[in-house]
């Protein structure tokens, strides 16, 4: 088999798992990491990994159990092994406070459910990210906890009973947002959701769907996205993803890998952006005990060291060499306030700082007036039909199909 035909294998571990509790101050981040190798690391390097572990009196490698002293003692061996296999890494960080802010905004300001939110304010990324950042200033600790309890509540009646109170609390905190226009946009949506909570799809009765709110799920999707990009960049297929066993989340991880790996590869164009849903097509996904996967053990050690550095702890020089190797031979998806701000400014910085010429300003004002008229029309229509905006499109399709059948 030629070198170009050797597929990729990914070995995945995670840290910062607090389950439903995203408010643990001691673990503000959830991080998933992958060791990526050309060929099956578990098959080819099991004996080398075991030999390293035995040098410090262990049968397996686990960062938290070994500690800095023992890792430092075998750091040269670990680094040599990583270099020999030309290992690459991927880190998917989820800042739990940022995840909370995006969940609040997505749940309450989706223009497909909230008729008082303009289509452009939710569907255009330029505005959506900016408004989510602004709304975060209105989320105090108690309101955040109430909201999180609401979206994870298995009882539908209880969830909808909580929603108006959450909206009212957020509305009361809008003065924390410095600019009046953002307060107006967000305030209108929050008040409408408070009065019309039945239109907001805040509840799901399936546990596996509720788990989709958790950092574990978000980091996993970002991991698949990263592996897809890595695979395309190198022209190599991902053969298998081996994930450290997490019994509570196994079903949702397996389900979403199956859905995304078998999704259509066709492009979807929406709101000026192009998306492809398919991820790591043809790959196998398995959940393994770390004792049976040398690859998972290696990424466990690297991730543990990486986490110590992120927490600002000083680590031995040889351990730091391992972290430096992983960073220089890897990349990170940073789903956090700071990470998303960097991406936002890189993509939209010129747009928001460059003044409009008179013609552009006139066109922009005309478009905004049209969008605002559509927003008011949506509000008035809801008063008549009590139908969330997203359902109207589906209804029009059904009605059009029915009309076509009548004319045939």
**Do 328 and 235 share a domain, yes or no?**
yes
**Do 224 and 322 share a domain, yes or no?**
yes
Half-sphere exposure at residue 311, Cβ-oriented, CA atoms within 13 angstroms? 18
pLDDT 10s digits, 265-304: 999 998 888 889 999 999 999 999 999 999 999 999 999 9
Asked if residues 218 and 334 have their Cβ atoms less than 8 Å apart, the reply is: no
CATH no. for residue 69?
3.30.420
Q: Check pLDDT > 60 for residue 394.
A: no
**Do 90 and 215 share a domain, yes or no?**
yes
Please give the average per-residue pLDDT across 238-260, as a whole number.
90
Angle in degrees, CA 149, 155, 156, rounded to 5: 95
**Residue 404 belongs to some domain of the structure:** no
Q: Check pLDDT > 90 for residue 20.
A: no
User: Whole domain around residue 395: which residue ranges?
Assistant: 98-205+371-399
**Do 21 and 55 share a domain, yes or no?**
yes
**Do 89 and 111 share a domain, yes or no?**
no
Please give the average per-residue pLDDT across 102-111, as a whole number.
97
Half-sphere exposure at residue 314, Cβ-oriented, CA atoms within 13 angstroms? 0
Structural domains of the chain, count: 2
**Do 316 and 337 share a domain, yes or no?**
yes
**Do 225 and 290 share a domain, yes or no?**
yes
Angstrom distance (rounded) from CA 212 to CA 216? 8
Q: Residue 334 has what DSSP assignment?
A: E
Among 324, 343, 362, where does a domain finish?
343
pLDDT 10s digits, 195-233: 999 999 999 887 778 888 999 999 999 999 999 999 999
**Do 237 and 193 share a domain, yes or no?**
no
Q: Check pLDDT > 70 for residue 146.
A: yes
- Cβ count within 10 A of residue 180: 10
Question: Which token pair is 377?
Answer: 């029309």
pLDDT 10s digits, 54-97: 999 999 999 999 999 999 999 999 999 999 999 999 999 999 99
* 83 exposure class (CB count in 10 Å sphere: 0-12, 13-18, 19+): exposed
């Amino acid at each position: 088999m030629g070198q170009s035909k050797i597929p990729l294998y990914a070995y995945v571990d995670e840290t910062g798992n607090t389950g439903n509790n995203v408010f643990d101050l001691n673990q503000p981040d959830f991080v998933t990491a992958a060791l990526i190798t050309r060929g099956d690391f578990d098959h080819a390097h099991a004996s080398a990994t075991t030999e390293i572990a035995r040098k410090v009196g262990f049968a397996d490698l686990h960062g938290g159990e070994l500690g800095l002293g023992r890792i430092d003692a075998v750091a040269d061996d670990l680094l040599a092994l990583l270099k020999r296999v030309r290992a690459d890494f991927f880190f998917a960080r989820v800042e739990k406070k940022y995840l909370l802010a995006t969940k609040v905004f997505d749940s309450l300001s989706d223009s497909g459910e909230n008729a008082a939110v303009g289509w452009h304010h939710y569907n255009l990324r330029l505005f959506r990210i900016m408004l989510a950042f602004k709304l975060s200033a209105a989320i105090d600790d108690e309101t955040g906890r109430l909201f999180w309890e609401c979206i994870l509540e298995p009882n539908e009646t209880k969830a909808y009973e909580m929603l108006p109170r959450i909206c009212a609390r957020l509305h009361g905190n809008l003065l924390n947002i410095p600019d009046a226009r953002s307060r107006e946009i967000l305030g209108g949506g929050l008040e409408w959701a408070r009065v019309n909570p039945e239109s907001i799809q805040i509840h799901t009765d399936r546990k596996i769907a509720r788990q989709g709110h958790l950092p574990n799920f978000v980091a996993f999707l970002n991991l698949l996205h990263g592996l897809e990009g890595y695979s395309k960049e190198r022209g190599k297929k991902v053969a298998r993803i081996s994930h450290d066993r997490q019994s509570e989340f196994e079903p949702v991880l397996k389900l979403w890998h199956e859905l995304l790996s078998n999704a259509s590869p066709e492009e979807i164009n929406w709101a000026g952006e192009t998306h492809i849903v398919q991820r790591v097509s043809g790959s196998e996904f398995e959940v393994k005990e770390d004792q049976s996967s040398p690859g998972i053990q290696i990424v466990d050690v690297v991730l543990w060291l990486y986490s110590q550095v992120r927490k600002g702890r000083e680590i031995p020089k040889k351990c730091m060499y391992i972290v430096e190797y992983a960073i220089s031979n890897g990349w990170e998806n940073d789903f956090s306030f700071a990470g998303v701000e960097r991406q936002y400014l890189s993509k939209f910085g010129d747009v928001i700082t460059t003044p409009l010429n008179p013609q552009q300003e006139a066109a922009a004002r005309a478009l905004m007036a049209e969008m605002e008229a559509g927003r008011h029309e949506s509000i008035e229509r809801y008063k008549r039909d009590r139908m969330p905006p997203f359902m109207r499109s589906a209804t029009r399709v059904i009605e059009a199909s029915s009309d076509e059948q009548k004319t045939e």
